[in-house]
Amino acid sequence: MLFNSPVFLFAFLPLTAAICFLLRATVDRNASLAFLVAASLFFYGWWNPAYLPLLIGLAVFNFLLARIILIERTRPNGGWKNILVTFGVAVDLGALAYFKYTDFLITSVNTVAGTDWNLQHIVLPLAISFFTFQKVAYLVDAGRGHVEPHSFLEYCFFVMFFPQLIAGPIVHHHEIFSQTKKDKSFRFDRLNITIGLTIFLIGLFKKVVLADNFAPLASSVFNQAGSGQEVDFLRAWEGMIAYTLQLYFDFSGYCDMAIGASRIFGIKLPLNFHSPYQATSIIDFWRRWHMTLSRFLRDYLYISLGGNRKGPARRYLNLFLTMAIGGLWHGAAWTFVYWGAMHGAMLIVNHGWRAVWKTPVNTWWSRGIARAITFLCVALAWVFFRAPSTDAALAIYSGLIAWSPEVSTRALLTNFAWLIFWVSLLWLWPNTQQWLARLRPAFDFSFKDMKVDPLLFPINSELWHRVLAWRPTPIHAVVIGIATAVSLLSLQRVSEFLYFQF
């Protein structure tokens, strides 16, 4: 069931909300909690009920093992705590590896060793990459003693709540347990519903009106490269930029819809997407793009590898390995590993440059240059991310530098003008969190955070407070209503979110 499908928009979401609020008003908080867990299982099973036992089985396994680990922590020297954590993480990652990487490993071995082992053609369970990382973090934190008291029902809600189940954000347990215990949790609240619907509908607009209209151009270019055809200069640049914008609005739209749907029930999800194309460096980019994945890779992989505690050389190696593994997490193909490795290399260069160049990037022109360079580097890396094969990616890269005097000047200027338009929009327009900042739309974002990362126009201006900043007023309702109407008229074909494949 997709967020942008009619059955979700007009049946599942409103019906689930109505029953949840009714149970909260007539029974208690646990009744609403139990119903939302059941509704989330129905939501997941809508795709393929055959994989519900996997989702439920891993959830029960990790909950029981965490209970044993917490008991072991009270024994002298931690008892069997470390062994149990290692065992649990191995089981979780083993399940992920079996379903996601079996054919990838067989293909790689066949290529290197010249063998002819048969592929297993295992169907990838939806969202296994996301809920595996949540469970790994939960087990590791249980071993560290960082998990606060919670019931099995609260745990099931944490790992199964439908807005974040399929493609994140990768929610941390304390972000959920701290909210489920509140007395006002899951109550009918007009402000929560208003805020939630506003964010959700903004995300719907980004997905069906913007991202889905970039998709045909991006797909045609990458399919052309994948079929072995040569890609000329203009086509290569058009395809790369189209995919760069498609992925931006697709993932941004999904993140908004997840945060918005969750807020309807009074639950705030963590921020996962914060204007990443405004980044002034690759370091800054990963603080804005898939923020909860970056957090997981930092806290549970990079630091476990040694972080920056063992000297600069080891630090750079850890950065590279973390990003390469993060690339492989996205997909079972060498193109994803290359994409991650490119970002690892760029992070190493970025950290090295900061060690040499001490001048801050704090003027309008220096920030503009830094943003342009970062945007270009990110776009170039997306080629490997999108390409169906290494050869297809190399064909795109060849096209990017295949300048010819026959290139149409008019077409070149037209494409450049469109690029300037979209980049200006991404740089100048406030994102969803900034637009609703005073109402704390996400778990970890509020108005004070805008002062750390200010907009390009003054946030304290009269124009911002009286006109632009979102409030539940008729004029803002009209704006969202028009965007919603355009979105619904665009629902002629329901397309998956790009991150669903991971």
Helices (H), 27-80: 29-45, 52-72
Half-sphere exposure at residue 39, Cβ-oriented, CA atoms within 13 angstroms: 22
Spatial contact of 273 and 251, defined as CB atoms under 8 Å apart: yes
d(CA 82, CA 334): 33
Residue of 150, 274, 330, 476 marked catalytic: 330
Query: 45: how many CB neighbours lie within 10 A of its CB?
Result: 15
Buried b (16+ CB within 10 A) or exposed e, 56-66: eebbebbbebb
* Distances 415 to 130, 256, 442 between C-alpha atoms, Å: 37, 29, 36
Classify residue 492 as left (phi > 0), alpha (psi -120 to 50) or beta: alpha
Query: 444: how many CB neighbours lie within 10 A of its CB?
Result: 14
Spatial contact of 8 and 261, defined as CB atoms under 8 Å apart: no
Classify residue 289 as left (phi > 0), alpha (psi -120 to 50) or beta: beta
* Distances 476 to 28, 468, 472, 485 between C-alpha atoms, Å: 34, 9, 7, 14
d(CA 431, CA 437): 10
* Tokens, residue 166: 């399929």
Is 330 labeled as catalytic in the residue annotation?
A: yes
Query: 300: how many CB neighbours lie within 10 A of its CB?
Result: 15
Spatial contact of 58 and 135, defined as CB atoms under 8 Å apart: yes
- Kindly list the catalytic residues: 330
